[in-house]
Structure 1
Amino acid sequence: SRILLCIWNMLFDGSLLLHIGVTLYETLLSFLLIILFSMGTAMLFWLHPRIYEVFDPFLVVLNSLPKSALAPLFIVWLGTNVRTIIVAGISVAVFGSIISLYSGFANVDKDKIKLIYTLGGGKKDALKKVVVPGTIPVLLSTMKVNIGLALVGVIIGEFLAARRGLGYLIIYGSQVFKLDWVIMSIVILCIIAIGLYSLLNFAEKKYLKGL
């Protein structure tokens, strides 16, 4: 009942919607940047395999690092602002996303690529007409994972560098012993995570059904 009362009071004064809106904005922006950067990097690696061979060990190492340990470094480099939170959100998922997408590119049907070459097309034509379309299911699957990871990264960033957002409510509520704030924020985060995942899952099913 205290949690419901807390939700009602913060809805009434508008502060809860503000915190939810901030976290959603930071999560969606991080998610979009993860997809764009991962897709662009995976394309570059496919076009130039030697570049991938150079960066592959670094990607594996960076992907295995505990991202919460990097957050204090982001604060030192970028300060306590939205950029730090966005970078924290990106860092959690981007390296694994690049690896997954490049693996998807590498597993595309080789016969279709040879057909493009036989018809006089180049590597960029194969990428545009065969590799990228053939990897859309992998991209959708990766997006479903990335949206949750982006939310986790944003919350880590908000713990350390925010004055608004659900992560801020959790850390501030724990500091001043307002457990109703903490539990309320966690419940809302669970609802957001389920909602975002469900939207992407629906989009994936619609796409696969249309194939």
Structure 2
Amino acid sequence: MAIPDTLASPAPAPVLPRGRLLPWRGTLRRILLPLVTAALVLGLWEALVRLRGISPALLPSPSAVAERLVATGPFLLGQAVPTTLETVAGFLIALVLGTGLAVLVSASRLAREALYPNVVFFQLIPKIALAPLFIVWLGIGTGSRLTFAVFIAFFPVVIATLAGLDGVDRDLLRLCRSVGAGAWRTYLHVRFPAAIPHVFAGAKIAITFAMIGVIVGEFITAQAGLGYMILFAASQADMALIFASIALLCGIGLGLYALTALAERVALRWYGG
């Protein structure tokens, strides 16, 4: 009696795509590669300082910086509070103003011709050269640092958002006009959702610029904050404290950047991107 083909040999197991077998591989690689690279750089730095006998007053080793960061951690965290709050406030103001101006310039040809060249002109001015003017006009308080942070974080948001609003598929815009959608409804449901990746591309740059603006302001006017601590440590030739403050600044910057990236993912999921 003949044996059916289906019983003669077992069916081959289905072959899953490689990405399904290791869905975490790409994420793990994106995490491990930067960490390994940073560890190698720190290891080379440590070896260079120890082997060459470089003075701590010139370049402290990473281990010395870590020890100082642990020893002064609570104090530096207290100094980080005003720096972080002013950075976040400046970033949010720049994000709102930059997005609003980009929408206005994209919607009105008159506004584009009147405002956009001036925005570009002010961007070409060296920002550090204008910092003393903000201090003269607004004093030595939080207002001058916040305004300066908004000033330098504003332009990336405008440019990136405008690129997203102007780059929408023209067929979609014709479809909106054919169904009678008004200009603002088209912006709300088509243009702005399509521009979300560009908005957050500018926001990721703006968050770093906002921190730079606050630190520059603290160099000049503040009596507290991580920028003030860096300047104070430099006056005392305390290189370990300088690097500890910079390390904490890097950690805060990475955290704020990660929150911006998380907000981007939430916005894209909200709009179905």
What TM-score results when the alignment is normalised by the length of structure 2? 0.71
Please give the per-residue CA displacement for 1:84-106, whole angstroms capped at 9, x wherever unaligned: 11111111120232122112111
RMSD (Å), alpha carbons: 1.9
In 2, distance between residues paired with 1:131 and 1:5? 51
Q: Which moved more, 1:113-122 or 1:201-210?
A: 201-210
Q: Is the 8 A contact 2:153 2:210 kept in 1?
A: yes
Q: Is the 8 A contact 2:83 2:226 kept in 1?
A: yes
Deviation for aligned residue 1:206: 5.9
Residue of 144, 148, 152 corresponding to 1:88: 148
User: Which of these residues, 130, 136, 148, is aligned with residue 208 of structure 2?
Assistant: 148
Task: Give runs of ≥4 in structure 1 deviating > 4 Å.
Answer: 205-210
**Is residue 109 of structure 2 the alignment partner of residue 49 of structure 1?**
yes
CA contact (8 A) 2:90 2:210 kept: yes
1:21 is matched with 81
Q: Map 1:93-112 onto structure 2 (within 5 A).
A: 93-112=153-172
Q: What residue identity is the alignment partner of 1:10?
A: T
Q: In the alignment, is residue 117 of structure 1 matched against residue 177 of structure 2?
A: yes
User: Bigger CA drift: 158-167 or 107-116?
Assistant: 107-116
In 2, the alpha carbon distance for the partners of 1:8 and 1:21 equals: 17
Shift in Å, 1:207: 5.5
Structure 1 residues 166-205: aligned runs within 5 Å? 166-205=226-265
The letter for the 2-side match of 1:53 is: E
C-alpha contact 1:30 1:86 (8 A) present in aligned 2: yes
- Three-state SS of the structure 1 residue aligned to 2:168 is coil
Alpha-carbon distance change, 208 to 132 in structure 1, aligned in 2, over 3 angstroms = closer
In 1: Cα distance, 2:230 partner to 2:85 partner? 18
Within the candidate set 119, 125, 135, 1:65 is matched to 125
Bigger fraction of residues in helix: 1
**Distance apart, 1:111 and its partner CA:** 1.7
Measured in 1, the distance between the counterparts of 2:140 and 2:239 equals 25
Shift of 1:179: 2.2
Greater mean deviation of Cα atoms: 138-147 or 77-86: 138-147
**TM-score, normalising length from structure 1?**
0.90
Report the residue type matching 1:184 in the other structure.
A
Identify the residue that residue 99 of structure 2 maps to in structure 1.
39
For 1:5 and 1:95, the matched residues in 2 are separated by: 39
CA contact (8 A) 1:20 1:165 kept: yes
Q: Give the count of matched residue pairs.
A: 209
Q: How far is 1:178 from its partner? A: 2.5
2:163 & 2:69 partners in 1: Cα distance?
44
In the alignment, structure 2 segments of 5+ residues that lack a partner are 1-62
- 1:6 Cα deviation after fit: 3.6
Q: CA deviation at 1:196?
A: 2.1
Residue among 126, 139, 159 paired with 1:79:
139
Is the Cα–Cα contact under 8 Å of residues 59 and 99 in structure 1 kept in the other structure? no
* CA displacement at 1:9 relative to structure 2: 4.1
Identical aligned pairs, as a percentage?
Answer: 33
In 1, Cα distance between equivalents of 2:228 and 2:253: 17
Q: CA deviation at 1:40?
A: 0.9
| Number of the residue aligned with 1:7 | 69
Superposed CA offset, 1:24-50 (max 9, x none):
101111111111101111111122121
Following TM superposition, by how much is the alpha carbon of 1:202 offset from its aligned partner in structure 2, in angstroms?
Answer: 4.1
